Amino acid sequence: MARGDLSDAEWRIIGALLPAERGRKARPALHNRMFLNGMLHALRVGCPWPDMHERYGKWNSVYVRFRRWADQGVWDALLEALVELGLTDDWQHMIDSTTVEATLRRRALKGDL
pLDDT in tens, 58-95: 999 999 999 999 999 998 888 888 888 887 665 555 55
Q: Is 24 contained in some domain?
A: yes
Q: Is 23 contained in some domain?
A: yes
The Cβ-side half-sphere exposure at 77, using a 13 Å CA radius, reads: 12
How many structural domains compose the chain?
A: 1
* C-alpha–C-alpha distance, residues 69 and 6, integer Å: 18
Is the pLDDT at 110 greater than 80? The verdict is no
Q: Is 46 contained in some domain?
A: yes
Among candidate residues 30, 35, 29, the one with its CA nearest the CA of residue 14: 35
Q: Is 79 contained in some domain?
A: no
Domain that holds residue 13: 8-72
